[in-house]
Amino acid sequence: MALLDQRSLHHIDPRLAGIEMQLKEAYYNLDKTTSSFDSDLDNKLKPLKRYKWWAIGIAIPLLFLAPFLLISIIPIYFLLKHSLKSFTKGVLTRAYMMAPIASALNLEYSVGGNLLICEEAISAGILAKGGRAVAEDGFNGEVNGIHFYFTEVHIRTLHQNNDSKRLFNGAVIKLSMPEPVDTPIVVLQDAGLWNMLINRRQSLKGLQRVKFEQEDFEKEYQVYAKDEASCRKVLTPKYLKQLSQVKSFFSSENLPKGLKIPKVKAQMFIEGSDILISLDYGANLFSPKKLQNEYDPSWAEDIAKQFLLIENLAKSLVHSRWT
C-alpha cells in the first residue's frame, strides 16, 4: 500500500483540521494489520499441502466419475479464501480509518452498528419484520444539545430455495428528546392499498388517523396518533416541512461520486422521549467496496461528507421546542 497523501479536510468542516496526520498513522497500522492477517491465513493453510497426494488420489477418480464436482470444488476453495480476505480488509479499513474522522466530528463510531434501535424500530412498525436484520456502521453524538444514534441496517428474507429478498436497506436514527410527548405518533409513507390494511399493525392499535392541511405532506405520508391535539402540537407546519425535506439530504451533491439514491422511504415513530426514524434508501453509505483503494485520499472526503450528511439530517429532525 502506498502512503496516504497529505490532503486537507479543513474545507469540509473546521473540526477536521489536522486530521490528516491521524489518518496517516491509522493507515500505517491498517497496512500492518492487513498484511499480518493475510500472512497468518496463508500459514494456517500451509498444513493442508501435506495432504496434496491424498487430494490427487481422490481427484483422479473424480475426474472420470464426477468431473463437474471436481471443477466446482477448486474455484470454491479459492473464492472462499479471497472472500475472507476481502471481508476482513473491509472491516479493518472501517475500524482503523473511519473512527478518527468520526472522533474529530465529536461522533462515536462502531463498525458493528446498533441492533437494539433496529429492534425498537421493528417493534414500532416502521421497519420491515420477518427477515434477518444485520446492523453495521453505527455512530452517535449530539446535535443542538440532543443526543442521537445512527445505524445502517440491512434486512433480507431467505426462502427454502436459498433465494433471498431485500426487505430493507437503509438506516435507523434515534433522537432522545429532553421532554416527553403526551401521545404516541406514527408517521408512515403512504403506500396506497397497503395502508388500507395498515390498522392491523400492532403499532397502530388504539391510534386514529390525523390529517393535515399541507397537501404535499398528505400525498406522501399518513399520520396516526392517540390524541390529535397533542399530535398537532408536535407536528407543526414547520416540522412537517422539515420531514418532507428529508429526501433532499440524499441528493447527488451530498453523495460521493458514483453513488446515486433515487428514492428514499422515510417513516417515524414518536413515543415518550424517543423519536425513531427509518430511512430506506436502497444503498450502503459506508460500503467497504468504496474503501478498497485506500491510497486515494478522496475516499476520506467522501466518508467525512457522509458523517456530516447524517449529522445535518439529525439536526433537521430536532424540533425547535426541544432546543
Q: What stretches of 2-121 adopt beta strand conformation (E)?
A: 108-110
Q: What is the pLDDT of residue 40?
A: 57
Could you give the number of structural domains in the chain?
2
Residue in 259, 308, 248 with CA at minimum distance from that of residue 287? 259
Residues 203 and 128 in one domain: yes
Final residue before a domain boundary, out of 87, 102, 117: 102
Pairing of strands 164-189, 146-158: antiparallel
Q: Which residues fall within 8 angstroms of residue 152, CB to CB, at 6 or more apart?
A: 113, 135, 136, 137, 138, 170, 171, 284, 285, 286
Q: Give the pLDDT confidence score for residue 3 in this predicted structure.
A: 43
Task: Look up residue 30 and give its three cell numbers.
Answer: 491498517
3 inside domain: no
Pair (78, 217) in one structural domain: no
Q: Which three cell numbers stand for residue 200?
A: 392491523
Burial of residue 174, with CB atoms counted within 10 A of its CB: 0-12 exposed, 13-18 middle, 19 or more buried: buried
- Using the 3D structure, point to which of 86, 102, 118 is the last residue of a domain: 102
pLDDT digits (tens, 9 = 90+) for 57-94: 555 555 554 555 445 455 544 444 444 455 456 667 77
Is residue 181 domain-shared with residue 298, that is, in the same domain?
yes
SS3 301: helix
Are 85 and 151 in a shared domain? no
> Could you list the residue range(s) of the whole structural domain that residue 117 is in?
109-322
Closest C-alpha to 123, from 223, 201, 184, 198: 201
> Average model confidence (pLDDT) for the chain?
77
Please indicate, yes or no, whether residues 252 and 282 belong to a single structural domain of this protein. Answer: yes
Q: Is 168 exposed, middle or buried (0-12, 13-18, 19+ CB in 10 A)?
A: buried
Q: Are residues 95 and 113 in the same domain?
A: no
Secondary-structure breakdown of the chain: helix, strand, coil percentages, each rounded to the nearest 5: 50, 25, 25
Q: 279 near 264, Cβ under 8 Å?
A: yes
Percentage of the chain beyond pLDDT 70 is: 69
Distance between CA atoms of 13 and 303, rounded to whole angstroms?
Answer: 12
For residues 35 and 150, membership in a common domain is answered with no
Q: Is the Cβ–Cβ distance between 158 and 148 less than 8 Å?
A: no
pLDDT at 5: 47
Q: How far is CA 140 from CA 59, 85, 151, in A?
A: 54, 29, 9
Q: Minimum mean pLDDT among 19-23, 97-101, 291-295: which range?
A: 291-295
Q: Quick one: 274 and 199 in the same domain?
A: yes
> Which residue is listed with cell 395502508?
195
pLDDT at 117 over 90: yes
Please tell me the predicted confidence (pLDDT) of residue 198: 47
- 53 and 122 belong to one structural domain: no
Q: What's the burial of 103, exposed, middle or buried (CB within 10 Å: 0-12/13-18/19+)?
A: middle
- 315 lies in the same domain as 278: yes
pLDDT of residue 205 exceeding 80, the answer is no
| Alpha carbons 124 and 201: distance in angstroms, whole number | 9
Q: Are 270 and 181 in contact (CB under 8 A)?
A: yes
Q: Could you tell me the pLDDT band of residue 109, with boundaries at 50, 70 and 90? A: very high
Q: Write down which residue in 50, 67, 102 finishes a domain.
A: 102
- Residue type for 85, please? K
Q: Which three cell numbers stand for residue 15?
A: 473540526
Q: Give the predicted TM-score (pTM) of the model.
A: 0.78
- Indicate the range of 43-47, 159-163, 243-247, 283-287 predicted with least confidence: 43-47
Q: Is residue 91 part of a domain?
A: yes
Which range among 66-75, 111-120, 192-201, 285-294 has the greatest average pLDDT?
A: 111-120
**Does pLDDT of 36 surpass 90?**
no
Write out the three cell numbers for 270: 414518536
